[in-house]
Every structure is written in C-alpha cells, then in structure tokens.
Chains A and B, each alone.
Chain A
Amino acid sequence: MLILKPKFSFDVSIEAEITPELAAKSPDEIRNFRVWYGKFEKRLEELFEITNQGDEKKLVLDGDFSKVKWVGMGMDDGEIVVKGNIGANCGAFMRGGRIIIEGNADDWVGAEMKGGEIVVRGNARNLIGCAYYGNATGMKDGKIVVEGDAGNYIGEKMAGGVIEIKGSAGDFIGTEMKGGEIVIHGDCGFAGGDMKAGIIRIGGKFDLLPTFKKTEDGWIGDVMVNGEGKIIKI
C-alpha cells in the first residue's frame, strides 16, 4: 500500500496517471514515476510525500488532490482511496478494481470506463461516465455511485454498466445512450435525448422531451432516432 501526500499546495494542475500498480513497483520506480506539473515533467517524489506500507495494490491519497488529474486512469485492479477531493478524469478508461473518493470529484469521473467500481461520497461535477468529445462510446461496463449531487452530462453515449446518483443531477442525462442504466434518486433536467436503448430511472422531478412516448411504466424513446430507451419513474 502506498500513501501519497502533497508536499505543498499546487498552483497549477497535475497530470498523474497513477494506478494501484504503482504500489507493486520498486521504491526507486515509485519515487521516479513521471508526472506533469503544469508544463513541467516531474518525479513523483518532487510533488508528493511517499509512504510505502507493503506491496498490496492499494493507493491512499491523503490531502487535497483536487488539482490532480487522471488518477486511476485505465486501472485493472486494486484499490484507490482518496481521502479528500479529486481532480478531473478520475478512473477514466478504468477496466477493474475500485476507487473510493471520500470528498468531491471533478469532471469526467469514469469516462469511457469498461469495468470496476467508483464511489464518490461527496458530489461529482459534469460528464460522468461520458465519451470523450468525438469518441463514439462512453462507459461500457462497471459501476459509478455518487452519494451527493452531480452536474450536467451523465452517461452520454453510454453502452453498459450502471451510474447511480443519490442526490440530484443537472441537464442532459443519458444523451445518445445505447445501453446500461442510469439511476437518479433526486431531480434532474432533460433526460434521454437521442437515446437508442438503455434505462434511465428518476426519483424526483425531471424535464421530459416531447420525443418520448408514454407507456405503462414510463416513457419510451427517443423517437427522433427510433430509439427504444426507457425512462422510468421510481
């Protein structure tokens, strides 16, 4: 298990593609792992205090990581625990393992993820489980749970897996969705625009597009694209 603590308060964002694999590397490799601080390439130990406790595949990020991007990118297994807030793109392209964020998450949590689990105890911002701009498919499998509120764009072009928001969310839920399930316990804005398949369950109030047809248990659409996606009230 590795514990990372910021050595100072960061002025600009950091791009650190760290995964639990790092904990299994040699102390030398860990210290010299390359990360970007703004436009400068740095060694991990220049920015973080590193404590190594055995080679269990686990990272503990202790302190303010709200400017640290790409944590857990493409990870396969193991665990990351973020004690505070986390920066953008956390768990993007993730294939397995678990990320627990005890604070808030920035944009692009679990973008294009293919497996594994992400739990955000606080709030998450926009673009959860979405496809990066220009790409055809967002989240394919796995699970993202946000215990607080979420921003706009959730599960855009999602093809599988589950996104659950326990609080409320913003606009554009499941746009161009092709599969999988989005659950919003609170309120949200427009849902299901151009969706082809998949299910959106909503607990609170939401804005229904005129391109959805009423069915027994909810609505089906988006008819603009001959979609058979479902919006169901819970």
Chain B
Amino acid sequence: MLWIKNGIVVDPKNGIDAERMDIFVKNGKIVNEEDVRKEDCRVIDANNKLVVAGGVDMHAHIAGSKINVGRTMRPEEMRVVRQTAGKLRASMGRVLLTSPAIGYEYARMGYTTAVEAATPPIGAPHTHEELDSIPVVDKASLTVFGNWHPVFKYAADRDREKMKAFIAWALERTKGFGVKVVNPGGVEAWMYGGNVRNLDDEVPKWSVTPREIITELVNANEELNLPHSVHLHCNNLGVPGNYQTTIETIKLVSGIRNDSRQVLHVTHVQFNAYAGSSWRDVASGAAEIAKVVNSMDNVTIDMGQAIFGHATAMTSDAPFQFTLHKLTGSRWVNKDTEIEGGAGIVPITYMPKNPVHALQWAIGLELGLLVESDRVVLSTDYPNGGPYTEYPYVMAMLMSRRMREKELDRVSPYVQKATSLPAIEVEKTLYEVIEMTRSLPARVMGLESKGHLGTGADADIAIYNLNPNDLDPASQYDVVNREFRVPAYTIKDGEIIVKDGNLLKETWGRTYWVDARKKASVDSIDSDLNEFFTEYYTVRRENYGVAEYWMRKPERLEVN
C-alpha cells in the first residue's frame, strides 16, 4: 500500500488541475482514503511535486519484425550502450533500442503503457515474443488489416457480417488490440510495383477502392464496438500535396458516432500534412487539417513529430519506403507479408538545416498546437520521427513560444514561409500537455484504467520535480524539458520502479488483447478461411496465430 502525500495532482480525465491532494494505492489500484490502513502504507513525500498518471504511448513501433529488421540493418545503432548487465539486463541502442531498453527508457521517463502500432498478422508470434521481452510497461499491439485479401473481398462484397467475423477471428488469432490500416490498397498495388494515389483508385485485381476499405472497416469496427477505433495511416503518406487526401479521408467518417470515443484515429499526421506539388514547393497543410479535425468531434490524431537527429523510417507502407529510399539513397529493406501486405525500412537523419526536415519538424508542432488538446496525442511515431525519449522536448516546445523561437533560429529559414509555426502564439498549458500524453491516449485506445488517477485506475503514476503552482512553462521551458526526463518516481501497478531517474527493478506488464468473438459469427467465415489458407498461405490454418498460453501476461478484454 502506498500513500502519496501532498502531491500537486494534474488529472485531466477527472478535471483536476494542480490541486494538492493525497493518492492511495492498494493491490496495484488507486483506491479511496478509507480503503487503506494508513499505518501500513509506505509514504511517498510528494510535497510540491507534480503527480500525474503514467504516460501512455499509443503509437510506437516497439516490437516485431520491422524494428528487428531495423536493428539488423543498422549495426551502428547498437554502439550506444545505455546500461551494462548487472541486477538488470543490458540495454543498448541509439534510437533503435533493444527490447529491455525500450521498457527501461519508457519507465525512466514516467511512461507506463506502450502500444505497438503495426503488427503484420503473420508476424504476430514474433511480435508477442518481443513484447514479452519488454519490461515494466503494459503493452498491446495493433493488427494491420488494410491490405489483407479477405478484407478486400468483404469490402468489395459489402459483406459487413463477414467483415466483422473476420476482424474478430483475426484479433483473436494475432492477440491484437485493434484494427490498424496502413495505406489501404496501396501496399497491394505495390505488389505490382505501383501505389494508389487517391481514395477512388481501384486496387489492382480487386474491384475495391481505399474509400470502400476504410468505410467498411470503420463501420465493422463500430458495429463490433471495439475498445479502439480504426487506427489509420492514410494513403499518399510522404507525398507533397497529401494533406488533401488526409482531409478527404477524415471526412469519410462524418456522421458515424460513438459516444465513448472517436470513430477514426488518424496517425502520425505530420507525414500526411504536406501542401505543394513537389519537394521544391512543399509547404505545410497542417492548419487546414487542424481546422477539419477541430470541426469534427469523432476524429482524433497523433502528431508524428520529427525530432532532429537519427531515426529509422519503418512502416507497413512498403511503396512509401521505396520512395524514401530513392529520395535519400539510404539503405532499404522491403518486406512482403504474403496476402496481408508488406513493409519497408529506411534509415534517416533529420537535419535542422535541411528545408524538408525542418518543415516536417515544424508541421508536427503546428498540429500539436493548432488541434485542440482533447483530440491530438503527442507522438513521434517512434522510431519514424525520432526517439520517444524526446517527448519532454516536444512537451516543452508546445508549452513555450520562447523555446520555439529559439529553436526556429537554428533551423532552415524555409519553415518561415512554408509553415505557420513562427506566427503561432498558442502555448499549451501543463494540464493540456498532460492530457495529450496521458488521459487522451488512454481514451483513444479505450483503456479505461489507464491515463488517470481516479479510484479504480491502475496505479501507474509518475511524480516529477515540478510544482505546477510555481512554474511558468513559457519561460522555464528548460526546466520542463529537463524534469520530464527524470521522474522523482515512476510507479507501475503500485510498485516503485524508478526513483530519481534510476531504475530500481524490473517487473512485467500485461499485454492487452481484444476478444470480440461474441459479437460476430466466426463460423460464418470458416470455409472462406480454409480456402485462403489452402490456396494462398505458406502456413496451415491450425499453425497460424498466437495461443494465449504462450504469452507472458495476457489480459483479455472481451467485447460484449
């Protein structure tokens, strides 16, 4: 039992803004004062310290074949040794971290939940092996659906019942948490060397378009009422002028409602917010996208902020990765995942003086600043935009115009004319930034016990050496940037994991997965599945997927 005393609590979900209060923890949960025996409690003195829920990273590539191929193709990443083996395991990596390092670095920053953003379905066993090697944090993985042949078939046939059955079957087999869609139709077109260029481009050999794939998946997802909405990586990613595709895509869901959450999450929007017609006249389309997102109440986004320095682009958007490889001349790995899609990996370094990189950096911030705080999540699309360990930098930048002005001095002047960043006066408050890193990502994911400090929440708590009542983030941006990197305490399920930035021990978090089989008739696609496996897969149906007992700490969320 813990008694966190006199902390200054910021808890946006429960509307608490910098109030001095005590938090009580019992059996890994946050409880009311009367539920604990105070004399049995370990007291944590949080006097004048900021007490918030553990951070939730809802979009990061932390496990599975993509990051592992990235590690293989980038031996230079493994020359940074963060910690040699001792009481805890060795942890390495510059930006591409080893599995232990991923858990440790999240905990060191006060983050306690992380979601793997794209699991190729056939790669699910590998993904879960790696998730099982990531210590401390709670995890989940999003299964990639957007280029899977059965999805094309059911979308083309408008067979909603079978689509629902297929989603339920696939989430169970891959132990996935939700429906991820990456460049719908485009990766299939890439199998023939092409891509799709707009929402109405037909997918080769399938009489179906990206518009239909997205709409059918969103509707099926809503009818199943999964905890998370469709999680979409839009078409035309990384192409100048793509902001229009993004806006068109967002508007596809107007009219579809869900009372507890968004019906569409559009991810790493920075990469999909380019105006202009080529890399020569590329500009920001962030303001237009922000306007649309703000005008709708059923769509959320995350930033996909670019961080100057090393990064590795890795997405299931295989055609985009080829374009990036041709653009930068950097190493490239292409992956083909049978009838499910593909992926690509390309190393990249974001340089402040490079006009395009500076533009990407600025667009991420524009989105974070211009979109309302209850619909934009802070993310770097790790490791695509950069390391998640730089979230404190992004938090400080959102809160301080002075810091942004200082940073603008060192980046390419191209951003002055191509973006609205220099003119943006918005300074997010601490409350808003805590919302963007805690309560909002938890709400977007549908993880009710995460991202807040109300009674019944998981006791995932971060305590920082910051007193919100005594802090002016606009001028003290360096304090914000420093202190969010070194929590005084990170508490996970009621256990103290980090104290003063030092890891004390290693624990193992849960892996959430969603079981929607009760909401659909999986039997109805039995013969279809048999046909897919016999005709097209390299594995037999009975050998496909992940059994729950293989996983270290599975947590099944059943949809009723």
Contact = CB atoms under 8 A, between A and B. Distances in A.
A131 to B, nearest CB: 9
Interface string B73-99: 111110000000000000000000000
Nearest to B330: A136
Contacts of B77: 134
Contacts of B73: 134
A217 B347 CA distance: 39
Nearest to A133: B75
Interface in A132-173: 132-135
A227 to B, nearest CB: 13
A134 B72 CA distance: 10
A93 B500 CA distance: 36
A212 B24 CA distance: 74
A132, A133, A134, A135 — which one has the most chain B CB atoms within 10 A of its CB? A134
Nearest to B331: A134
A132 B76 CA distance: 8
B329 to A, nearest CB: 9
A132 B75 CA distance: 9
A136 to B, nearest CB: 9
Interface in A90-138: 132-135
A196 B102 CA distance: 38
A135 B331 CA distance: 11
Nearest to B84: A39
Nearest to B347: A134
Contacts of A132: 75-76
A133 B77 CA distance: 10
A77 B164 CA distance: 70
Interface string B505-516: 000000000000
Contacts of A133: 75-76
B347 to A, nearest CB: 8
Contacts of B74: 134
Contacts of B75: 132-134
A133 B72 CA distance: 11
A33 B217 CA distance: 64
A133 B74 CA distance: 8
Contacts of A134: 73-77
Nearest to B329: A225
B93 to A, nearest CB: 13
Interface in B64-78: 73-77
B508 to A, nearest CB: 27
B72 to A, nearest CB: 10
A124 B77 CA distance: 28
A88 to B, nearest CB: 16
Given A133-B76, A134-B75, 8 more contacts: A132-B75, A132-B76, A133-B75, A134-B73, A134-B74, A134-B76, A134-B77, A135-B76
8 nearest A-B residue pairs (beta carbon): A134-B76, A134-B75, A133-B75, A134-B74, A135-B76, A132-B76, A133-B76, A134-B77
6 contacts: A133-B75, A134-B73, A134-B74, A134-B75, A134-B77, A135-B76
